A and B are shown apart, each in its own frame.
Chain A
Amino acid sequence: MNKVYNRNYALYLGIVSVTIVLFFTVFGPKIAPHSIFMALEVKYIDGDVISPPLKPFESMAYPLGTDRWGYDLLSMILYGLRYTVWIAIAVATIKMIIGTVLGMFIGTWKKTPSFIIAFEGAWSYVPAFLILYFCLLPINFGSILETPILIAYFIVIASLVGTPSIVSSVRQKTAEIYKRDFVLASMTLGAKRWRLLWRNVFPQLKESLLVMFTMEIVYVITIMGQLALLNIFIGGTIVRNDPVIYLSVTKELSGLVGQARENLMGNQYILMVPLIILLITTISFSLLTAGLKNKFQADYARMPWIKTGIKPKGRPTRKRLGEKRILNFSLHKVGFAILFLLFVLGGLFVNQYSDSKIGVTNENKGDYSLELSMVSENEFTVKEEVSVKNESEDKWKELIFFAPRNLAQLELNEIIVNQENLPYEIKDDVYYITLPEKWQGESRFDVQFNYSMTGIEDADIFQDWYFALAPYKNGRWAEATKDNPYIHHHHALLSSFKVSYDLQTGYTFISSAIENDKEKVSIDDVKNFSFSIVSDNWEKNERITQKDTQVSFLQQSPSRKELTEEEIIAVFDYFEEAIAPLPFKQVDIFISDSLETESVPGMVILNAEGAQNPYILAKEVAALYFASAISQDPQKDSWIGSGLSHLAAYQYSVDQGEESKQQALAYLQEELGALEEHVNGSQVSNTNINEVEHEAILNAQPAWKIIELIEEHYAYRGISPEEVGEKYLSSFYEQFARREVDTEIFLQFTRDYFSVPSGAFNQWLNTEASRK
């Protein structure tokens, strides 16, 4: 019984809880359910009004409640915790290093100068937070200094303010040890000061230094808390007038406590929640300190002669000199290993989980493997294999594929599912393959199509040439996109493709995929696999952008070609600099009199006339980013791709100078003017594609509205609207590249980015339309 009771539980608990705290500091923002910039808006759900402040556990979406402006407390804590803990650790580390070196050094002096002792005394008399308060008072409020600089100031000043106390205690301990016999023995043997310090004094000090370090962490957090009560928040205080409120920039824990100070009387949980988390954090470190102390006390203490009521916790560990075992197995080491493993696994899991939450997630997957062989000039046979994966909970009764569209002729021979020939129905170019009962619970299907096709005369570009699996989500298959003037492709999954081809002589296969083998290419995470087969009558020219993307130019009418190519390369260079490296290793640009201008994954097709307009050029190149690498459901959300491409083109024009900016604005205004003439009243951009009345609703309208938004709110993110526009586009792309987005996700991102309510979009988007 005594064995169980007498364990050093503080140490175990301390280590585990500190590990947990550290875990949240590292992965917190990935776990956070909401953004810290986006407030909960008043909502009606089933007749109930949901409005901030929400109490904890009232809503599943806001487990710890919201503050009175509607910001999620849990998310703020998860974002802020890292600042609290790591700033404290940084300060404690700097303090300990400087303090130990100085203290040990001064401790070896024969007599400590009295001014040092006087200084230590005076310094320890003045509370540290008071010194910090006066240091930070002039710079912290509504500061123009940036947050990292303010944090750095705090770390430096807090370390300096705290160092004398460490110096003092290390100095005293060193002086004490320095008097011991073993130091004298070393000295007699001729050891110099540094050797004495390092070999004789430091080993005696190291345990108490460790304890001091963990204690200092708590101490720094305490100081941060005290400052926060005086409205000095680490990383800057935002001051709002009318009424005067103080807000923390970093959402650091003690700042959250400080900014909720007025909730002492009402809505106490807004104060309690961060306070309790802060308490748990400090208790974790305190427990660790206490545990370490217990351990060292058990190791080194002498037992008392009278009853004191104090018992050392835990059994002393003794070092057995001269004992060397290769596998020094102990329960403690196993415990440590398990803890470490859990940390890593948890981190991996969180990473995976948060990654899968970005963008729209479809509940099925299809990976394609296509064998293409050319029978005669523009006649092909195709063997298509799709491995379909059902990731939903539902049992499928049928599989749905969209038929190829851009082909002159198609002849389907058979559809084989899991090696069985299955019957199918065709309705409006959609193939419904009925699954037999025995397979309805399955989650994997291998579907094989064998067909022959004929390409369109003199168009050698194949975009929509294979049977595409329809996306499945929330118990429904995606609908086919009906014929409309604006969008011609179906809703597609982001899939991987393996294509092998066999061409006749005189033809070349061109695509943006990577050539693995001879006549075999593959590409991952694209919504469509397009390629072209080029005969000798196209002139081919290859160039390389500054970021090493290969651009192939293919022209039928090489008039003025040099100029256009220069222009296009300049556009590529701009986007690769301002947004991100191109999503494709290689891009093909077709310039022809007979083709219509459009952009498909990995290809830009330019009408020779359209190629003269730099705005159009830029728009089509930008579509490689926003319409090709970021997928959308063409039914309602295609405006995101086209709108952002136009915005990017506008940004490019702005970058080119005032004249081209005016031209771009004029172009957009013209489009909007046409829209106004054409459409009675107004139409939101996320209208169903079949009801869209004018093209400008999908491109000029969103682009124009986002430009307006940037002009109005850019100060929140940067210095000029131009800079913020670029940053906005590149962060949007960075977050959603190779993923699918919809209007709601766009809204979330943009609201968060500019810190605006959804009301700011009401004019041109239906913000109520939820994902169904």
Chain B
Amino acid sequence: MVRYIQQMIIVIFLILFLATLPSIVLVDPANGTVSLNFAQFPSMVGNFFKELSTGSLGTYYVGMEQRSIASEIGDNFFTSFYIVFVGVLLSILLSLLFGIFLSRFYLTKIFRVMMNIISTIPDFIFIIFALLFAVNIYKWTGFRVVSFLPNEGALNIWFPMVLVAIAPSIYLFKLISERYFLIAGEDYIRTAVAKGLKVDRINFQHVYKNIEPFLTADLVKVLSLAIGNLFIVEYLLNVSGLTKFVFQSFGDPQPIAIGLFCMLIISLLVFLAIRLLLYLFKRGFIYE
């Protein structure tokens, strides 16, 4: 518990630090050196919390127009939340399915080859290729697969969800296959085989149970991968999510900090939701 609190404090500090960094790093034009102006840090953090204590989230600029963050952040928050939640859920489902339960079938071989190929491609390149592909599909067939207009609903949001799911899927699938391979060599599996248990049953009752701790342990990593790609995906696909506050504020600490904190909240919510789902799954299907 202490560690969680420590972790939270560090993350909050880190977010505040990042948000104020553009104002702290100064370039001295006279002799071309970089200087750090840490003296400003406390006052900027103070301003941030003062703004929060008045009950408002502060303002941000769209072009020259000043707008209140609080009145707009709701939609953006939920858009980002859906994308991350669906993305992470998708990746867990796929990797568990192919990593353990379907691992021995030919289908998984194809899936594994596909994943291996995709995993050699860095996420951002894959995302650009996916975009190019989508644009070309529209050019060839006139069929609109994706939309860059923020108010197009599902057309605007399904593609980001899939793209966000890719990196976590690759990561989890590799992790789970590797674990599966290791666990399959353990003695208790031999015992189970010797007892004449079916493979599916061994997978469920022996393997999954031993893989689950690794899954929950790496959930944070998975989330961080998803969030990392969320920034790129939202930015490139013009999804009006939280990254808008982070990237379009030109170093104004207030919206950046708000955006990053909301990201933190989103990942917390998704983390809890996934943990809950995994718990229910275990309770429902696995013998203790």
How many whole Å from B184's CB to the nearest CB in chain A? 4
Residues in B neighbouring A265, C-beta threshold 8 A:
135
Residues in B neighbouring A119, C-beta threshold 8 A:
6-7, 10
Residues in A neighbouring B14, C-beta threshold 8 A:
122-123, 126
| B2 pairs with A114, CB closer than 8 A | yes
Residues facing A in B187-233 (CB within 8 A) are 189-190, 193, 199, 202, 220-221, 223-224, 227-228, 231-232
| B32 pairs with A131, CB closer than 8 A | no
Identify which of A117, A124, A257, A305 contacts B185 (C-beta below 8 A): A305
How many whole Å from B175's CB to the nearest CB in chain A? 13
Q: A129-B228, A310-B181 are in contact. Are A225 and B125 (CB under 8 A)?
A: yes
Residues facing A in B68-121 (CB within 8 A) are 103-105, 108-109, 112, 116, 119-121
Q: In this assembly, does A306 line the interface, its C-beta being within 8 Å of a C-beta of chain B?
A: yes
| B119 pairs with A305, CB closer than 8 A | no
| B181 pairs with A305, CB closer than 8 A | no
Residues in A neighbouring B128, C-beta threshold 8 A:
257, 264, 271, 275
Residues in B neighbouring A302, C-beta threshold 8 A:
185
Residues in A neighbouring B220, C-beta threshold 8 A:
121, 124-125
| B104 pairs with A125, CB closer than 8 A | no
Q: In this assembly, does A229 line the interface, its C-beta being within 8 Å of a C-beta of chain B?
A: yes
Residues in A neighbouring B286, C-beta threshold 8 A:
none
Identify which of B3, B124, B136 contacts A114 (C-beta below 8 A): B3
A264 to B25, CA, bound (A): 33
Q: In this assembly, does A278 line the interface, its C-beta being within 8 Å of a C-beta of chain B?
A: yes
Residues facing B in A327-355 (CB within 8 A) are none
Q: A130-B228, A153-B34, A229-B235 are in contact. Are A222 and B190 (CB under 8 A)?
A: no
Residues facing B in A269-289 (CB within 8 A) are 271-272, 275, 278-279, 282-283, 286-287
Q: Which of B22, B109, B120, B221 has the most CB of A within 10 A?
A: B120
Q: In this assembly, does A145 line the interface, its C-beta being within 8 Å of a C-beta of chain B?
A: yes
In this complex, what residue of A is CB-closest to B226? A127
How many whole Å from B2's CB to the nearest CB in chain A? 6
Residues facing A in B240-288 (CB within 8 A) are 246-247, 251, 256, 267
| A229 pairs with B11, CB closer than 8 A | no
| B125 pairs with A275, CB closer than 8 A | yes
| A309 pairs with B22, CB closer than 8 A | no
| B131 pairs with A134, CB closer than 8 A | no
Q: In this assembly, does A456 line the interface, its C-beta being within 8 Å of a C-beta of chain B?
A: no
Q: In this assembly, does B153 line the interface, its C-beta being within 8 Å of a C-beta of chain A?
A: no
Q: In this assembly, does A230 line the interface, its C-beta being within 8 Å of a C-beta of chain B?
A: yes
Interface pick from A136-144, A240-248, A584-592, A615-623: A136-144
Q: In this assembly, does B158 line the interface, its C-beta being within 8 Å of a C-beta of chain A?
A: no
Residues in B neighbouring A36, C-beta threshold 8 A:
none
Q: A125-B223, A279-B125 are in contact. Are A290 and B27 (CB under 8 A)?
A: no
Residues in B neighbouring A127, C-beta threshold 8 A:
224, 227-228, 231
Residues in B neighbouring A129, C-beta threshold 8 A:
228, 231
A264 to B136, CA, bound (A): 10
- How many residues of B sit at the interface, in one of the four size bands? 35 or more
For the complex, would chain A's binding face be called helix, strand, loop or mixed by DSSP majority? helix
For the complex, would chain B's binding face be called helix, strand, loop or mixed by DSSP majority? helix
Residues facing A in B159-203 (CB within 8 A) are 177, 180-181, 184-186, 189-190, 193, 199, 202
In this complex, what residue of A is CB-closest to B15? A126
Q: A114-B3, A118-B10, A137-B22 are in contact. Are A143 and B27 (CB under 8 A)?
A: yes
Q: A226-B232, A272-B132, A307-B199 are in contact. Are A282 and B121 (CB under 8 A)?
A: yes
Residues in B neighbouring A290, C-beta threshold 8 A:
116, 120
Residues in A neighbouring B121, C-beta threshold 8 A:
279, 282-283
Residues in B neighbouring A5, C-beta threshold 8 A:
none
- How many residues of A sit at the interface, in one of the four size bands? 35 or more
In this complex, what residue of A is CB-closest to B177? A310
Q: A139-B25, A305-B189, A306-B189 are in contact. Are A221 and B122 (CB under 8 A)?
A: yes
Residues in A neighbouring B8, C-beta threshold 8 A:
122
| A306 pairs with B34, CB closer than 8 A | no
In this complex, what residue of B is CB-closest to A137? B22
In this complex, what residue of A is CB-closest to B8? A122
Residues in A neighbouring B189, C-beta threshold 8 A:
304-306
Q: A124-B224, A218-B122 are in contact. Are A117 and B109 (CB under 8 A)?
A: no
How many whole Å from B115's CB to the nearest CB in chain A? 12
Identify which of B6, B25, B224 contacts A118 (C-beta below 8 A): B6
Residues in A neighbouring B131, C-beta threshold 8 A:
264
| A144 pairs with B27, CB closer than 8 A | yes
A268 to B136, CA, bound (A): 10
Residues in A neighbouring B149, C-beta threshold 8 A:
none
Identify which of B18, B32, B132, B190 contacts A130 (C-beta below 8 A): B18
Residues in B neighbouring A130, C-beta threshold 8 A:
18, 228, 231, 246
| B235 pairs with A304, CB closer than 8 A | no
A450 to B240, CA, bound (A): 89
| B132 pairs with A264, CB closer than 8 A | yes
A to B CB contacts below 8 Å, 21 in the list = A121-B220, A122-B8, A123-B10, A124-B221, A125-B11, A130-B231, A134-B22, A138-B21, A138-B23, A139-B25, A145-B32, A153-B34, A222-B124, A225-B124, A229-B232, A271-B132, A290-B116, A306-B202, A308-B184, A309-B103, A309-B109
By a beta-carbon cutoff of 8 Å, the part of chain B in contact with chain A is: 2-4, 6-8, 10-11, 14-15, 18-19, 21-23, 25-27, 29, 32, 34, 103-105, 108-109, 112, 116, 119-125, 128-129, 131-132, 135-136, 177, 180-181, 184-186, 189-190, 193, 199, 202, 220-221, 223-224, 227-228, 231-232, 235-236, 246-247, 251, 256, 267
By a beta-carbon cutoff of 8 Å, the part of chain A in contact with chain B is: 114-115, 117-119, 121-131, 134-135, 137-139, 143-146, 149, 153, 218, 221-222, 225-226, 229-230, 257, 264-265, 268, 271-272, 275, 278-279, 282-283, 286-287, 290, 301-310
5 extra interface residue pairs, beta carbon distance < 8 Å, beyond A123-B14, A126-B14: A122-B10, A124-B220, A125-B11, A282-B120, A308-B181
List the 8 shortest-distance A-B pairs measured between CB atoms, nearest first: A127-B228, A304-B184, A118-B6, A286-B120, A122-B10, A222-B122, A134-B21, A118-B7
